[in-house]
């Protein structure tokens, strides 16, 4: 009988992408996907460790897998990703029913384990390069991720990622261009470049390469209509990248620029290497060249020592920038980080209260900003039917906003949609009549 696998993915897009590679690799070994965890011979978790909540959620799932294995001891349980890396071999002491554990960038070792005769539990935790050469199973034919670098050389004091994903290593320029060409040839229209710090891409290569050069090269590929990337670091957001947005037709008008905090004192304690003023200079430069671009951000609330006055500086920046959207997080101390050694002195009540105030400003400004789309006709890449109304279609504009709209179109097509209404979260619209008539 054919063996079946089930993968549960936690965390960021990098993990989603690694899971696609896991699935591709397993299928090349003759496994096929099980719809339910209970039907799988191989139960895999691709884990995240960015915040405490991520850990807790995963442990609940892992315990369910333990129950399944108790019923059928031949099942294999594998744990990959950042949580696995951050606890390393302890995983086997804490969860003896786990058969194989591997860090990010060790996905290929899973195949080695499955094809060996090894009966003992195995852990694979070195940092060594890319999953880029593995086959992958994409969720959608017309969208793809491309990992341009792994690891992170920053030392943000709150962040576990440098310890789970290692030093930054860029993939060779030519290899990325070839991969993008191949993807375009397979019908991919939108590619998202992934890295912990995408805009420092290429500094470790010899000869050195620049992120903006990569964007320029990818823009020349026929069939790639949309190029996105995540996440850049504000310290490396230079004019060449901003100008690339103005000049390259396929580079989407969206920049994710993680702020983290509005106070320069807190930013310093976070070791972000920029001040409030420098961040605002970047925003001014972006807005000067790209007045319509969508700006989104990440913000941490309640970093150790954050005072009420410092928190208000975050509110001020959010008010002033007017983000199109923001991911907001309560500070969560992570093992091995320097911020975890500081006293987590902002009480939970304070964090909750600050978070509410922050979300109010984020949403109000996002809703205001979104009104600029109303009345315009914008290209939408169709992704499927609307989540709330099966009679409507859903897709995204270049600015990365979701649009629910009336129309007739296939997933993967790009159609003009007249925007009729906007909230902080999404847009409403109807497919332009001309486009409908010419179908």
Binding site for ligand SF4 (CB under 6 A): 11-12, 14-15, 48-50, 81-82, 160-161, 164-165
CB of 329 to ligand 5AD, least distance (A): 4
Binds 15: which of ligand 5AD, ligand SF4, none (CB < 5-8 Å by kind): ligand SF4
Nearer to ligand 5AD, 16 or 298 (CB): 298
**Considering only residues 314-333, where is the footprint of ligand 5AD by CB under 6 A?**
329, 331-332
Note whether 165 and 156 are within 8 A (CB). Answer: no
In the list 14, 22, 50, 134, the residue contacting ligand 5AD (rule: CB under 6 A) is 50
CB of 416 to ligand 5AD, least distance (A): 34
CB of 308 to ligand 5AD, least distance (A): 19
CB of 159 to ligand SF4, least distance (A): 8
47 binds ligand 5AD (CB under 6 A): no
**Distance, CA of 87 to CA of 49 (rounded, Å):** 10
Distances (CA, A) of 202 to 104, 210, 215, 234: 21, 5, 12, 17
Q: Number of residues in contact with ligand 5AD, rule: CB under 6 A?
A: 12
**Considering only residues 334-363, where is the footprint of ligand 5AD by CB under 6 A?**
334
Residues 140-179: x where in contact with ligand 5AD by CB under 6 A, - otherwise, as a string: ------------------xx--------------------
25 binds ligand 5AD (CB under 6 A): no
Q: What's the DSSP call for residue 136?
A: -
10 Å Cβ neighbour count for 118? 12
Note whether 350 and 306 are within 8 A (CB). Answer: no
Binds 81: which of ligand SF4, ligand 5AD, none (CB < 5-8 Å by kind): ligand SF4
Pairing of strands 393-397, 377-385: antiparallel
Dihedrals φ, ψ of 430, to 5°?
A: -135, 145
**Considering only residues 235-294, where is the footprint of ligand 5AD by CB under 6 A?**
258, 260
Structural tokens at position 364: 């109000």
Nearer to ligand SF4, 248 or 340 (CB): 340
Inter-helix orientation angle 239-247/276-289, to 10°: 20
Of 49, 117, 37, 50, the closest CA to residue 78 belongs to 37
Q: What's the DSSP call for residue 260?
A: B
**Strands ordered across the beta sheet of 325-330:** 254-256, 294-301, 325-330
Look at residue 214 and give its three-state secondary structure: helix
Dihedrals φ, ψ of 218, to 5°?
A: -65, -30
Nearer to ligand SF4, 232 or 412 (CB): 232
Binds 298: which of ligand SF4, ligand 5AD, none (CB < 5-8 Å by kind): ligand 5AD
CB of 316 to ligand SF4, least distance (A): 28
422 binds ligand 5AD (CB under 6 A): no
CB of 15 to ligand SF4, least distance (A): 4
CB environment 389-428: b (16+ within 10 A), e (fewer): eeebbbbbbbbbbebbbbbebebbebbbbbbeebebebbb
**Distance, CA of 58 to CA of 45 (rounded, Å):** 8
Nearer to ligand SF4, 210 or 332 (CB): 332
CB of 165 to ligand SF4, least distance (A): 6
Nearer to ligand SF4, 300 or 431 (CB): 300
CB of 428 to ligand 5AD, least distance (A): 29
Pairing of strands 42-47, 32-33: unpaired
- Residues engaged in binding ligand 5AD (CB under 6 A): 50-51, 158-159, 258, 260, 298, 300, 329, 331-332, 334
């Amino acid at each position: 009988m054919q063996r079946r696998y089930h993968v549960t993915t936690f965390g960021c897009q990098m993990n989603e992408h690694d899971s696609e590679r896991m699935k591709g690799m397993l299928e090349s070994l003759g496994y096929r996907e099980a719809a339910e965890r209970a039907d799988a011979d191989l139960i895999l978790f691709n884990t995240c460790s960015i915040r405490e909540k991520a850990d807790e959620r995963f442990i609940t799932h892992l315990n369910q897998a333990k129950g399944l294995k108790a019923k059928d001891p031949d099942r294999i349980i594998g744990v990959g990703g950042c949580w696995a890396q951050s606890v390393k071999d302890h995983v086997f002491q804490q969860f003896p029913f786990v058969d194989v554990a591997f860090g990010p960038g060790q996905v290929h070792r899973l195949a080695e384990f499955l094809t060996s005769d090894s009966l003992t539990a195995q852990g694979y935790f070195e940092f060594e390069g890319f999953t880029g050469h593995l086959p992958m199973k994409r969720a959608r034919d017309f969208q793809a991720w491309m990992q341009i670098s792994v690891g992170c050389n920053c030392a943000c004091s709150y962040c576990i990622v440098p310890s789970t994903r290692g030093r930054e290593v860029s993939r060779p320029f030519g290899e990325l261009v070839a991969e993008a060409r191949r993807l375009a040839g397979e019908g991919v229209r939108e590619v998202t470049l992934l890295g912990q710090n995408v805009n420092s891409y290429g500094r470790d290569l010899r000869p050195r390469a620049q992120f903006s050069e990569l964007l320029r090269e990818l823009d020349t590929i026929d069939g790639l209509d949309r190029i996105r990337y995540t996440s850049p670091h504000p310290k490396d957001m230079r004019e060449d990248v901003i100008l690339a947005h103005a000049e390259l037709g396929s580079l989407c008008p969206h920049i994710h620029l993680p702020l983290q905090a509005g106070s320069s004192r807190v930013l310093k304690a976070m070791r972000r290497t920029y001040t409030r003023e420098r961040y605002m200079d970047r925003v001014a430069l972006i807005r000067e060249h790209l007045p319509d671009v969508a700006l989104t951000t990440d913000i941490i609330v309640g970093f150790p020592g954050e005072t009420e006055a410092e928190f208000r500086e975050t509110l001020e920046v959010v008010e002033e920038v007017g983000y199109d959207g923001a991911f907001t997080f309560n500070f969560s101390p992570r093992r091995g980080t320097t911020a975890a050694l500081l006293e987590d002195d902002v009480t939970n009540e304070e964090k909750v209260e600050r978070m509410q105030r922050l979300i109010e400003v984020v949403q109000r400004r996002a809703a205001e900003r979104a009104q600029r789309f109303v009345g315009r006709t914008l290209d939408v890449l169709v992704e499927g039917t609307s989540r709330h109304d099966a009679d409507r279609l859903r897709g995204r504009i270049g600015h990365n906003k979701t649009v629910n709209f009336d129309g007739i179109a296939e997933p993967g097509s790009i159609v003009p949609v007249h925007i009729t209404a906007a909230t902080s979260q999404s847009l409403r619209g109807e497919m332009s009549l001309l486009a409908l008539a010419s179908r």
